[in-house]
Every structure is written in structure tokens, then in C-alpha cells.
Chains A and B, each alone.
Chain A
Amino acid sequence: MKISEVAKLMNARIVCGEHRLEEEIKHGFGSDLMSDVLRTEAEQLILITGLANLQTIRTAEMADIEFILFVRDKKATDEMVELAKENNLVVLETSNSMFKASGILFQAGLTPVF
């Protein structure tokens, strides 16, 4: 699925990474626990999370995750956006809950990593 399609399905705001919207992703992983996220191994994965702070961006950087969807209307701060841009990440924000976002994206074809 293209990132642009994720953004559309989520009615998401594109915070940064507009130039990567045509890239394909395959997997989704939802968690607010960064140690969980650091255990994922898949590529082409979008992190779905309600934890919006600098450590979310750092965690994505370390785990080689390039796509983040913030749920529950969590907003990326300026500092987070700056760090995300530095790492060439795509960051989206949606008002959907974690459950709703995950359900819709699962149905649309994103697969879990375990």
C-alpha cells in the first residue's frame, strides 16, 4: 500500500515527508511502548502509536522505521518534526484511535509482523 493511501484512509495530516508519499509499505505495528518497537525487524513498516514525544522519533531512527502514524490526535512538536526531517521520516497524524486506525489499515491489506 502506498503511504498516500494510508494518509487518505486515515484522513491524516501529513506532517513531514511529503516527497515519500508514493513509497510502498507492507506492515503495521502498533504500540506505545518503545522497547516493543525496538524489537521489530521488518522493513516497509509503519509505526502506529499514541506516544508523541522526542523518544518516539529517536526510537524510529534506531529501529530503522521510516513511517510513523500518530493516533488519538497526538501532535508532533516542532522539535520532533525537526528530528524526523533530519532522519527523512514520513510523519502522519490522525484523530482515529489506535484500534480504529489499526483495524482500517489491516482491512486495507497491511499485515502484522507477528
Chain B
Amino acid sequence: MQVKYQVEGGDFTSAGYASSQVKKLLKQLNVAPKVIKNVVVALYEAEVNIVAHAYRGVIEVELDPQKITLVLEDEGPGIPNIDLAMQEGFSTASPAVREMGFGAGMGLPNIKRNVDDMQLESQVDKGTRLTLIKFFNA
């Protein structure tokens, strides 16, 4: 099963919509609540990152019996130094993003601790691609 969502950069009103839909979907599929929380917390941080740091993006969700795969691909400024971006506390977030309660530099570390696999690839001035995998039987 596959689902797709569009995400608009800067649109803090809709930020979290995709994560909310995925949460409903996983509930319907009777996935364990703890696993659902892990998935949606990671996805929400990643969705907010597109809204906060990129121009626009697409979230692709792929569900199979053992796992969920989330691919978030955006057009945006990209991440020049991924190791640095992964560090807790590192953030280039704008004041507007901070007003929304984000921009503490904890998003990427939060994503990592909630999934089984995380791949982050980025090209400066092009965009970023984040792939997340979470197994249901964890």
C-alpha cells in the first residue's frame, strides 16, 4: 500500500497534516500504540523540517506487513554539513520557525531515535531526501 502527501514550505497551518493522516492509518491497521507514536513523532519532525527549511516537498508512505517506509523528498536549500545538522542543538531555523515552537535543533536527533533506519541525503541548492524505516514488531 502506498500513499503520497504534498508539503508546502512555510505553511505552518498545514504542517502535521500528513503525520496526522498516517497516524489514523496505522491505528486502523492496529499497529501497536508505542510503534505508532515512534513513527508519527519522527514523521512529524521531518514534515516540520520541510515546512521550516525547504520550499516544497513530497512524502511517500509505503506500508507492508512488517514495516513502514517513509520517503520525504524536498526542493530547498539542502544541508551543507549533514554531520553538523545531526548534532543536538544545531539549528538554522528562522525566528518565525522558533515562534512555532521548533528550531531547538532537536528534530533530526528525535527522528533518529524513533526509527530503525534513517538515511539523509542532501544536495546544496537542490534539496534533501530523508528515508525512514520502522519495523512493526519492535
Contact = CB atoms under 8 A, between A and B. Distances in A.
- Judge: A and B partners, yes or no: yes
Interface of A: 32-36, 38-39, 51, 53-56, 58-59, 61-64, 79
Interface residues of B, number: 22
The dominant DSSP class at the B interface is helix
Contacts of A61: 16, 20, 23
Interface string B41-57: 10011001000000000
B106 A36 contact: yes
Given A39-B110, A59-B44, 9 more contacts: A32-B101, A33-B101, A34-B100, A35-B45, A35-B106, A35-B107, A36-B106, A64-B33, A64-B37
A36 B105 CA distance: 10
B13 interface: yes
Query: Would you list the 9 A-B pairs with minimal beta carbon distance, nearest first?
Result: A58-B16, A35-B106, A34-B101, A62-B44, A51-B101, A62-B40, A38-B41, A35-B104, A33-B104
A63 B16 contact: no
Nearest to B33: A64
B62 to A, nearest CB: 20
Contacts of B48: 55
A22 B25 CA distance: 30
B102 A62 contact: no
The dominant DSSP class at the A interface is helix
A56 B101 contact: yes
Contacts of B90: none
Contacts of A34: 100-102
Given A35-B45, A38-B41, A63-B41, A53 B33 contact: no
29 contacts: A32-B101, A34-B102, A35-B45, A35-B102, A35-B104, A35-B107, A36-B106, A38-B44, A38-B110, A53-B100, A53-B101, A54-B12, A54-B15, A55-B100, A55-B101, A56-B101, A58-B15, A58-B16, A58-B20, A58-B44, A61-B20, A61-B23, A62-B16, A62-B19, A62-B20, A62-B37, A62-B40, A64-B33, A64-B37
Contacts of A54: 12-13, 15-16
A53, A58, A61, most chain B CB atoms within 10 A: A58
Contacts of A32: 101
A33 B48 CA distance: 13
